[in-house]
Amino acid sequence: MTQAENLSQAFELGFTYTRSTGPVVGRFLSALRERRIFGIRASDGRVIVPPAEYDPDTAAALDEFVEVGQCGSIVSWCWVKQPRAAHPLQQPFAWAMIRLDGADVPMVHCVAAAAEEQLATGARVRVVWAEEPRGYITDIRCFELLGETVGETASPAGGSGAAGDLPTPGDVAAVTRIDAPIYLHYNFTAGAAPARFLTRIREGVLTGQRCPRCANVYIPPRGSCPACGVATDEEVVLPDKATVQSFTVVAIPIPNNPIKPPFVIANLVLDGANISFIHLMSECQNSEVHIGQRVQAVWKPEAQWTYAMDNIRYFRPIDEPDVPVERIGKLPITGWEG
């Protein structure tokens, strides 16, 4: 068994989700665009900011919006010495639970400050608005410190107290959905068994792995026999001849796929292997591709070989007799004699 290189590759896993806001969140976000902050009154009279859709105790739907102040007091905080790339502020900053004036339930946001020493529980803060509020929580760019400090429990009334001319979901102006771009960064590792396979294919060698229990040979190997649930350590070098187990002719363009339709993708079983993999077929009449057909790999020039299955450009038909369906996936490494 060859030693596995630790093959890894950085990649981004990302998608911009679209989220419906619903009426309560939508009204809150709509108001942010007007540089105003609204909470909602719970059944017990507490004002929750940002507003909750349902009462935390009774589960009743809530609808009494209350405007709150744009200043508040820090209930708790932490100091981020080394902001992460995803964080909203890239200088050292604080996260804080902030009870806005007129609110009872603290909200969490970031606080810009020059140094940790300036932060304190009870410190007074004020909203810093984004230059162009768009109906997102990040319309509150951050909070900044005011010079004063009040007791932690003090919560002076603020804001107009009434919902006033708050936009409703029926309004043209109301926010009803937000984009939520979530882009995460990873360093993907191939796994020990796939890494050994990829290391060998870089040298133009196809290696499967044999199950010690049922003797099935898997390529590409993943490190286990899924049928038996045991590790597959024994490596088997396989030829580059295969049999078509099934196929399809792709007639529609696939986004981001450079190959122009129509083209053939096929489930192919290498001689000596017991499970198929998917690859392309070419140098063939699409209409004549059939199950049991014999094919062989067409490799890229050696100088272009890398840790990838597409070192093989595609498989092309060869002049060998067809394999009967019941023999597909059961051929010896020595191939098919017909």
Partner 1 sequence: MKEIAVVAFSQSDCLAQAGAANEVELIMPQLQAVFGQVGLNNAQDVDFVCSGSCDYLQGAAFAFVAGVDALGAVPPIKESHVEMDAAWALYEAILKIRMGHAESALIYGFGKSSSGELPIVLSQQLDPYYLAPLWLDSVSLAAMQARLLLDRGLATERTMAEVVVRARRNAIGNPHAQVSGEFSLAELLAADTVVSPLRQSDCAPVADGAAAMIICSVEKAREWGVPYALLSGIDHRIETHNLGMRDLTDSVSTRQAATAAGAGRGPVEVAELYAPFSHQEIILTRALGLGNDTLVNPSGGVMAGNLMMASGLSRIGEVFRRIVSGDIARGLAHATAGPCLQHNLVAVLESA
Binding site for partner 1 (CB under 8 A): 4-7, 11, 13, 17, 19, 21, 25, 29, 48-50, 52, 56, 75-82, 84, 86-88, 95-97, 105-110, 116, 121, 136-138, 152, 178, 180, 182, 184-195, 222-231
Q: 141 to each of 50, 93, 292, how far by Cα in Å?
A: 15, 12, 63
> What minimum distance in Å lies between the beta carbon of 231 and partner 1?
6
Bridge partners of 234? 210
> What minimum distance in Å lies between the beta carbon of 265 and partner 1?
20
Contacts of 117 (CB under 8 A, 6+ apart): none
Closer residue to partner 1 in complex, CB, 89/333: 89
Closer residue to partner 1 in complex, CB, 225/331: 225
**Nearest partner of 41 among 58, 29, 18, judged by Cα:** 58
Q: 237 in helix, strand or coil?
A: strand
> What minimum distance in Å lies between the beta carbon of 270 and partner 1?
19
Question: d(Cα 1, Cα 78) in Å, to the nearest integer?
Answer: 51
> What minimum distance in Å lies between the beta carbon of 142 and partner 1?
10
Closer residue to partner 1 in complex, CB, 168/304: 168
Closer residue to partner 1 in complex, CB, 121/282: 121
118 CB neighbour count, 10 Å cutoff: 12
Please answer whether residues 36 and 162 qualify as being in contact, where contact means their C-beta atoms are separated by less than 8 angstroms.
no
Closer residue to partner 1 in complex, CB, 225/284: 225
> What minimum distance in Å lies between the beta carbon of 165 and partner 1?
22
Question: d(Cα 31, Cα 89) in Å, to the nearest integer?
Answer: 23
**Nearest partner of 276 among 291, 287, 286, 254, judged by Cα:** 291
> What minimum distance in Å lies between the beta carbon of 33 and partner 1?
14
Contacts of 87 (CB under 8 A, 6+ apart): 80, 93, 110
Closer residue to partner 1 in complex, CB, 162/227: 227
